[in-house]
Structure 1
Amino acid sequence: MASKSLPHSDVGTTKKTQTDKKLEQPKVNLVALGDSLTQGVGDTTQNGGYVYLIKQVLEKRLDAAVVTRNYGKAGDRSDQILKRLQQQEKMQQDLKKANVITMTVGGNDLMQTLQKNFNSLSANQLAEFMPTAQKTYARKLDELLRTVRSYNPNAPIFLYTVYNPFYVYFPALTQLQQYTTQWNTVVRQKAAEDKNIYIVNVERRLSEGQYYDHGSNLKKTTVTDYNELSGDKLAKVLNNQKEKNAYLSPNDHFHPNLKGYKFMAAKLYQVMIEHKKTWLKMGG
């Protein structure tokens, strides 16, 4: 028995429904700028960390058509990200087309400052250097954000905070956490100058890991005290292949692992949805 073909009106309705669905589908063109956290260093799947993961989340939860461009580069400070942006035309062109911009910046700026003066931490002599270092970073971050805006004045920027990867090893070393928090104050101040920049706060979770909200207990029970460690013992602690923070990679005790990147993607999605009017346009 021959199969019946659909009536002409039904065929038209089907095509119209498919066309309408395509027109109503959210279009997300996401460009990610930054350092190793944008590149995805530490992600054991090697898919690209939070940038890959947020693409999956947006496609699944919003049925969105998502294109991502990942311009993360390990080791880059704020001034080096800026230099790449100024020199790479492809990055500039992709940025112009973006309706979502994400950024991880500042961690290497902070670590450079701390490494130069690490021996001063226990004596809290860093208090002499940090105000100047923060002002320098504020100037560099301002220049980077202004340059990004020169290529794309309208897309929302979702800017991640930095975190203290050594917190679970040295919870009693409050200066280290203090300077991390102060660094993020600079980030928030700069974000406040642009009504379309939104903070993605990962500081406490990535710093404290599974000890989140239990920091006081960690300080009481930890056996690692920086003030009692010589250079050799300190190196041994940080070379231990067992990571004490469940959100960080055991390879370097610094970058997020897959669990950490999943948290970064979840926080990004949460903030993006809170401000969806700035980027979620059907068929746009």
Structure 2
Amino acid sequence: MNRGTILWRLIGIVAVLATVLLLAGFGYAVKDMLRPGQAISPIVDDERASPSLADQPVIRVTALGDSLTKGTGDSTGEGYVKPAMKHLEEKYGKPVKLLNNLAINGLRADQLNEKLGTDKGFQLAIRESDVILMTIGGNDLFAFAAGNEKGVAANQGQLSMEELNANLAVGTKRLEQTLKRLNELNPNAKIVYVGLYNPFYDVKDLREGSLQVQAWNKEVYAIIYRYPNMRLVPTFDLFEANLSKYLSSDHFHPNHEGYAAIAARIAQAIN
């Protein structure tokens, strides 16, 4: 057998193998098109295991967190919880019942974690809820910027963006534990976390705080993304564009209009 014959046979074998590989790849591609996503495992239980709010005779809500969930700054006392419930009633056409508003002024994420771990009243309300509304983290960031855990400025009332940035990971780790605990107590509830905003965006020396707030929101979203039953509702854009319209006289908490804007977004996020 001469070299030319051997060469042509090798070329033929390679061509056959290439054709087989091409057909195999085409077959897998067709399989993926007809039955997509089968190779991807969810990080947590599929959301389809969670009952739909549309199937509930009454939608039960628990609110927890800090002064924003309590409604501080709203002269009417409604905050965002009550108008959010009204939106849900209109959206689903059924009663929405507030089991409890467990918000505490000044509460930090580490303190909320302690409540969720030891307070039977907190645990019961979470377990019985279809929807959980929550704000937490603002006091943690303020405490870091002030230079101590209690949020009382250690340097004559000045806030340090360097201190805030240096401790950001500590705060997000606290919130990660909060969300994990909530999911353990009630993996079926729709959990809505209201993102943070910078109330001092119009103060030149504190405007940089928006970068840390955005870094916080980004890290929190990465945590919430793991849980199909959780949603993060952004608020930073609402307030940065409308501080004079949406902030109360304390220049920190939302006013009635600000809370109403948050409530509308919450209703949009819940499905």
- Give the TM-score of the pair, scaled to structure 2: 0.71
TM-aligned CA deviation for residue 26 of structure 1: 4.7
Q: Choose from 259, 262, 265 the match for 1:264.
A: 262
- Is 1:72–2:103 an aligned residue pair? yes
Cα pair distance change 1:54/1:119, threshold 3 Å:
same
Give the counterpart letter for 1:253 in structure 2: H
TM-aligned CA deviation for residue 166 of structure 1: 0.8
SS at match of 1:246: helix
TM-aligned CA deviation for residue 261 of structure 1: 0.6
Match of 1:28 in 2: 59
Cα pair distance change 1:254/1:88, threshold 3 Å:
same
Match of 1:86 in 2: 117
Structure 1 segments, 4+ long, off by >3 Å, are 23-26, 117-120, 124-127, 129-132
- Runs of 5+ consecutive residues of structure 1 not aligned to the other structure: 1-22, 211-244, 277-284
> Percent identity over the alignment?
32
Residue deviations 1:222-248, cap 9 Å, x none?
xxxxxxxxxxxxxxxxxxxxxxx2101
Match of 1:226 in 2: none
Residue deviations 1:146-202, cap 9 Å, x none?
1111210121211111010011233x7542211111111121121122222111011
Match of 1:241 in 2: none
Query: What does 1:153-232 correspond to in 2, within 5 Å?
Result: 153-170=187-204, 173-209=206-242
Cα distance in 2, alignment partners of residues 79 and 71 from structure 1? 15
Cα distance in 1, alignment partners of residues 154 and 174 from structure 2? 26
Cα pair distance change 1:144/1:53, threshold 3 Å:
same
SS at match of 2:134: strand
Cα pair distance change 1:24/1:189, threshold 3 Å:
closer
- Is 1:97–2:128 an aligned residue pair? yes
Cα distance in 2, alignment partners of residues 130 and 253 from structure 1? 20
Match of 1:116 in 2: 147
Cα distance in 1, alignment partners of residues 184 and 201 from structure 2? 37
Give the counterpart letter for 2:173 in structure 1: R
TM-aligned CA deviation for residue 108 of structure 1: 0.7
Match of 1:135 in 2: 169
Cα distance in 2, alignment partners of residues 57 and 263 from structure 1? 11
Aligned residues of 1:77 and 1:105 also touching (Cα < 8 A):
yes
Cα distance in 1, alignment partners of residues 109 and 83 from structure 2? 24
- Runs of 5+ consecutive residues of structure 2 not aligned to the other structure: 1-53
Match of 1:248 in 2: 247
Cα pair distance change 1:116/1:25, threshold 3 Å:
closer
Cα pair distance change 1:24/1:95, threshold 3 Å:
closer
- Is 1:148–2:169 an aligned residue pair? no
Cα pair distance change 1:112/1:130, threshold 3 Å:
closer
Cα distance in 2, alignment partners of residues 25 and 131 from structure 1? 43
Cα pair distance change 1:131/1:67, threshold 3 Å:
same
Match of 2:46 in 1: none
The count of corresponding residues between Structure 1 and Structure 2 is 210
Aligned residues of 1:167 and 1:208 also touching (Cα < 8 A):
no
Cα distance in 1, alignment partners of residues 247 and 160 from structure 2? 28
Residue deviations 1:44-88, cap 9 Å, x none?
1123x1111112222234322111121111100101112222232
SS at match of 1:72: coil
Give the counterpart letter for 2:199 in structure 1: P
Aligned residues of 1:25 and 1:65 also touching (Cα < 8 A):
no
- Give the TM-score of the pair, scaled to structure 1: 0.67
Match of 1:59 in 2: 89
Give the counterpart letter for 2:64 in structure 1: L
Q: Which has the larger radius of gyration?
A: 2
Match of 1:282 in 2: none
